[in-house]
Structure 1
């Protein structure tokens, strides 16, 4: 499917539950590989648990290498079209009559970096960044929506101590959270890349191997956390979980 965004229409993958709605929505943010079988699998898994899951193809507007470079730059610059594309995906879900009005955000690796940047902006009801790089302005996360996050102690991409740093800043803001670092896994332990056999060796050397036991534990924590924060009917009249106050219509 496609959906509208400020920089132009963007392709995406939409997965809907089989049972009757309305359902909470979840925006699924890709890792650096883009729109993959793994990203669709993640979206389908969310749908199987009762979430309307939308995964934007952030490389899908124009020449892919140029889109890829722009998206990666946006990730590190904390600004760019990719952020607008993710927010537009959130708005698309809110406009879908099948959506309950509660929206979560999930991301892996680069996608988790986007999630951490967006979490304090008052747009999402819960967020699940998995092994994401901390934002430059990490102190902004004192105003974050509730966060469930997972890290691997053997990660060679996200520096050691990132889980503790996230825990500390969220605790400072009194943000509801579930942060866990798994001691025996590295980066991308929740993602099934599906590389051909020769590349699995490279994958293992880079510390990016999938690990089922830790991945399933992380998913159980995500679903439990999302059940807590996304199952309620949204309150549009007062203070939201993300700290934004609805002051009513402008004069």
Structure 2
């Protein structure tokens, strides 16, 4: 599938990104793809290319661009090796809610300005850490995000004052959230809290739990699950097919 290397200008510098598109002539509906905590790597590009095959122009920004040429992670050891885990934690914690909002505006603008992209609103999707970024983007760019998805996203409805669920009344998108079984980052109480917030906001949404472990949709994650990954692709196709301009 065609892949274009891009640089997105933000308030804090230049963010490398890739745009993955279907074969043939566009334009196509745009999707902003938020990576998991491991950052941009081959597995994320492969997933974006898969989404492009389904008929979308998919933007994958390097959300850690402020850290320069950071060293990629191996998800097989990223959470068990103390040094890698500490480095990963530093990168993740640098993405404050304020920074995510600033970057989201730049990413969405860059995507909508591309000639390959159709319409005036996009979809978002995110994995692990990216699930929260997807929902935050829907909240901070409500007129320009028509569909927002999160897969095994963590801390979506925590006690934090800036928890994503507190932004539900700002979202206008159709929302799809898939959690994982026995996931400490998104336990049952957070599931219920998010459900209540989305319902109170009057949103059209789906909130469900897959019978799989955290990380189920990402191929290079040790907890990857083939059936759950396919289920997630099917869910995205339904979500975007109904909410985005063809």
Fold similarity call, TM over 0.5: yes
State the SS of the aligned residue for 1:64: coil
What does the per-residue CA deviation read over 1:169-207, in whole Å, with 9 as the maximum and x for residues that have no partner? 11112111121112x31211111116xxxxxxxx4xxxx
Correspondence 1:115 to 2:134 = yes
Correspondence 1:148 to 2:153 = no
Deviation at 1:97, TM superposition (A): 1.8
Task: Return the TM-score normalized by structure 2.
Answer: 0.79
What does the per-residue CA deviation read over 1:52-95, in whole Å, with 9 as the maximum and x for residues that have no partner? 10100122342527x966652244x4222x44233212111111
Decide whether the 8 Å contact of 2:147 with 2:174 is kept in 1.
yes
> Over the residues paired in the alignment, what is the CA RMSD in angstroms?
2.3
Partner of 1:200: none
Q: 1:61-140 maps to which residues of 2 (within 5 A)? A: 61=66, 62-64=68-70, 71-75=91-95, 77-80=96-99, 82-101=100-119, 102-121=121-140, 122=142, 123-132=144-153, 133-134=155-156, 136=163, 138-140=165-167
Partner of 1:227: 241
State the SS of the aligned residue for 1:9: strand
Partners in 2 of 1:34 and 1:142 — Cα distance? Answer: 29
Task: Look at both structures and tell me which one has the larger radius of gyration over its CA atoms.
Answer: 1
Partners in 2 of 1:157 and 1:68 — Cα distance? Answer: 16
Partner of 2:75: none
Partners in 2 of 1:44 and 1:168 — Cα distance? Answer: 34
State the SS of the aligned residue for 1:125: strand
| Gap runs ≥5 in structure 1 | 195-202, 204-208, 233-251
Partner of 1:170: 198
- CA distance 1:23–1:137, shift in 2 (3 Å): closer
Task: Return the TM-score normalized by structure 1.
Answer: 0.78
Partner of 2:218: 191
